[in-house]
Chain A
Amino acid sequence: MRKRRGGVPLPLLLPAAVGLIFLVLPLVGLLARTPWSSLLTRLAEPGVTQALRLSLWTSTLATLVCLVLGVPLAWLLARVEFPGRRLVRALITVPLVLPPVVGGIALLLALGRRGLVGSWLDSTFGITLPFTTAGVVIAEAFVALPFLVISVEGALRGADTRFEEAAATLGATRWVSFTHVTLPLVAPGIAAGAVLCWARALGEFGATITFAGNYPGITQTMPLAVYQTMESGDLEGAVVLSLILLVVSVTILAALRDKWLTAP
């Protein structure tokens, strides 16, 4: 796209600059307070690597769960006319507006040991989800799923359905058409949705601490570790943990961006 010549209007430039400063300033604050000298020793603390590993692991699993459940859901919303479709679309956005803590309580009421489905899971299979690593994955997937569904649905709506018709005339069933034509066409949209979803899962706090608790090694992800360190009065420790989370997530996002999110 060609850029228009001429100066940028002040009413646009000024808020844009303030917005940028607003986003960057807290990060600068974080860097300014980082105890660089003791950084390496802090990094080596077992609790830190444990929490980091758990965070990466659970957010990746949560993203996979979201892909498996969210892509078909997005396809349904984009391609199939069914009664109540608008209601379903509204329901999907609920976790977006719900405070994550409330989401965690809701998950407890549904999947907790005495919950709607949880009691059945417990009595039939002996499965309990709250306060387990699986619970962390569920809490993260719950808050991240809407991000994936919304971006994939948008990609599907933007894709030309006539390619699917062409596939049908060549003998492809709807399923084959989905796997061989639709999916490759919307792959960039799915990748973007997955990255968004992963980032949301990585930063998840409220639903996780409510539904899965805060047990080091089992459910204590990085955001929870930051919160606990801060609560215990160790500001310096919290800063270090925050910095690690920041660096790791930015590095991964940048790598993914180069690999998937740029046009070939």
Chain B
Amino acid sequence: MSLLDAALRVERGSFRLDIALSVAAGETVALLGPNGAGKTTALRALAGLTPLTGGHLRLDGRDLTEAPPEERPIGVVFQDYLLFPHLNARDNVAFGPRRHGVDRRAAHAVADRWLERVGLTGYSRRKPRQLSGGQAQRVALARALAVDPVLLLLDEPLAALDARTRLETRGELRRHLAAHPGAALLVTHDPLDALVLADRLVVVEQGRVVQEGDAATITARPRTDYVARLVGLNLFRGHGEGHTVRLPDGFTLATADPVHGDTFVAFPPAAVALHPTEPTGSPRNTWPAVLADIQRHGDSLRVSLDGPITVAADITPAAAAQLRLEPGVEIWVALKAAETRAYPAD
């Protein structure tokens, strides 16, 4: 049973957002997508800050399609937090409860409790400009949660933090999201945030949902180039004919999984092997390629290869030295059928 049931349609100039979302109680869903995909528009539409041009919004059985933002039981953590600069941390958190008719004392008590939960006891009298990025993020979270929202919205909650604070805050945020009894929707362009924080991912591109599912499914079976890049896989789409997939330009890839019809083939860059001459032996995909680019990628090197198909390969620095790899070098590419994953595209 889903707590949030929404069909969001927003048209603005040439941009068109049209997505359906449902989130269950206690569930955290990540809306993942590239910049300009419409993620923030979706969040603003849910909060009532951007009017819908169509669709509906039901939350906990209540129809909120036409409700103004102040009447929606929805808490928002904004990307740059938007803590009220003239109020201290405690009054920022108490702002919501006060607006919901809680008297000053009780609201302050609620605020103190929330500041304690986010580990900011002792910071209640600090003004936002006296807080670090991580602290401000926690106050913003406390402020949004202090009104006991049925739905919690988070817009790129970690984007404004430096790498180190981000790591700590991500862990804390995960704990708070797990403790939140309502639904939570997280907007992010960072796949790591989405994978760590969310139970389910909804991938949005150009205003539409292109894929949704749990982290395991999304990472194993990407369905768009964007998702494939996010999870670090080579992805091709073609026509399955038993154990081969014919790509639109005629190139064929041998696969271990038997497939028929419209098919995706995915394989990790680490499965791609490079050889100075045409390899012989076991049944595998081989083709000649030209090296386009080399970049560091963790402990290994990521190599971009042009040829009949464009793929990425991960190799060790030692192998790269042995093969004398540099842009423009001609090389043979090998890929075992067993290392590919093929799955239907429709």
A168–B44 alpha-carbon span in the complex (Å): 12
Q: Is the CB of B85 within 8 A of A172?
A: no
A260 to chain B, nearest CB (A): 14
Identify the stretch in B72-80, B198-206, B302-310, B333-341 within 8 Å (CB) of chain A at 4 or more residues. Answer: B72-80
| Chain-B contact segment, one of A177-185, A235-243, A244-252 | A177-185
Cα-based distance from A91 to B209 in the complex (angstroms): 50
Is B99 touching A162 in the complex (CB atoms < 8 A)?
A: no
Interface string of B128-165 (1 = CB under 8 A from A): 00000000000000011001000000000000000000
**3 closest residue pairs by CB, A with B:** A171-B99, A170-B96, A168-B69
Q: Least Cβ distance of A170 to chain B in Å?
A: 4
Which residues does A use to contact B, with CB under 8 Å? Answer: 160, 162-163, 165-173, 176, 180-181, 184-185, 187
Contact of B95 among A162, A165, A167 (CB under 8 A): A167
Check B74–A169 contact: CB distance below 8 A. Answer: yes
B213 to chain A, nearest CB (A): 29
Q: State in angstroms the CA–CA spacing of A5 and B265 once bound together.
A: 63
Q: Counting chain A CB atoms within 10 Å of each CB, which of B75, B96, B100, B143 scores highest?
A: B96
With A162-B78, A176-B99 as contacts: A169 and B47 at CB distance below 8 Å: yes
| Most central of A160, A167, A184, A187 by chain B CB within 10 Å | A167
Chain B contacts for A160, CB-based, 8 A: 82
Closest-CB distance, B143 to chain A (whole angstroms): 7
How far apart are the CA atoms of A160 and B74 in the complex, in Å?
Answer: 22
Q: Which of B70, B72, B74 contacts A172 (CB 8 A)?
A: B70
B105 at the interface (CB under 8 A from A): no
The answer to whether B70 touches A171, judged by C-beta atoms less than 8 angstroms apart, is yes
Query: Are A165 and B96 in contact, CB atoms less than 8 angstroms apart?
Result: no
Whether A180 pairs with B95 at a CB distance below 8 angstroms is yes
Residue numbers in B under 8 Å from A165 (CB-CB):
47, 49, 69, 82
Chain A contacts for B84, CB-based, 8 A: 163, 166-167, 181, 184
Residues of B within 8 A of A (CB): 47-49, 68-70, 72, 74-76, 78, 82, 84-86, 95-96, 99-100, 143-144, 147
**CB within 8 Å for A169 and B86 given contacts A162-B78, A176-B99:** no
Closest to A160 in B: B82
Q: Which residues of chain B have C-beta atoms less than 8 A from A187's C-beta?
A: 86
Are A168 and B85 in contact, CB atoms less than 8 angstroms apart?
Answer: no
Q: Is the Cβ of B99 less than 8 Å from the Cβ of A172?
A: yes
CB-based contact B99/A170 at 8 Å: yes
- Distance of A167 Cα from B47 Cα, bound (Å): 12
Cα of A160 to Cα of B69 in the assembled complex, Å: 18
Q: Are B85 and A185 in contact, CB atoms less than 8 angstroms apart? A: yes
Q: Tell me, in angstroms, the Cα distance from A172 to B92 when the chains sit together.
A: 13
B residues in contact with A168, CB < 8 Å: 48-49, 68-70
Q: A166 touching B82 by the CB < 8 A rule?
A: yes
Contact (Cβ within 8 A) B78 A173: no
Contact B86 A184 (CB under 8 A): yes
Residues of A within 8 A of B96 (CB): 170-171
A166 touches B86 (CB 8 A): no
Chain B CB count within 10 A is highest, among A160, A168, A176, for A168
Give Cα distance in the complex from A53 to B96, angstroms: 46
Chain A's nearest CB lies how many Å from the CB of B142? 12
Question: What residue in chain A is nearest B81 (Cβ atoms)?
Answer: A166
Q: Which residue of A lies closest to B96 (CB)?
A: A170
Sample of 24 A–B contacts (CB below 8 Å)? A162-B82, A163-B82, A163-B84, A165-B47, A165-B69, A166-B82, A167-B95, A167-B99, A168-B48, A168-B68, A168-B69, A169-B47, A169-B48, A169-B72, A170-B95, A170-B96, A170-B144, A171-B70, A172-B95, A172-B99, A180-B95, A184-B86, A185-B85, A187-B86
Given contacts A162-B78, A166-B76, A167-B95, contact A173 B70 (CB under 8 A): yes
Contact indicator A170/B82 (Cβ below 8 Å): no
Complex interface: chain B residues within 8 A of A171 (CB): 70, 96, 99-100, 147
Q: Report Cα–Cα, A29/B18, bound state, in Å.
A: 74
* Known A170-B143, A173-B70: A185·B100 in contact at CB below 8 Å: no
**Which residues in B have their C-beta under 8 angstroms from that of A166?**
76, 78, 82, 84
| Chain A residues within an 8 Å CB radius of B69 | 165, 168-169
Chain A positions within 8 Å of B100 at CB level: 171
Task: Please measure, in the bound complex, the distance between the C-alpha atom of A166 and the C-alpha atom of B78, giving whole angstroms.
Answer: 8
A172 to B72: give the CA distance in the assembly, Å: 11
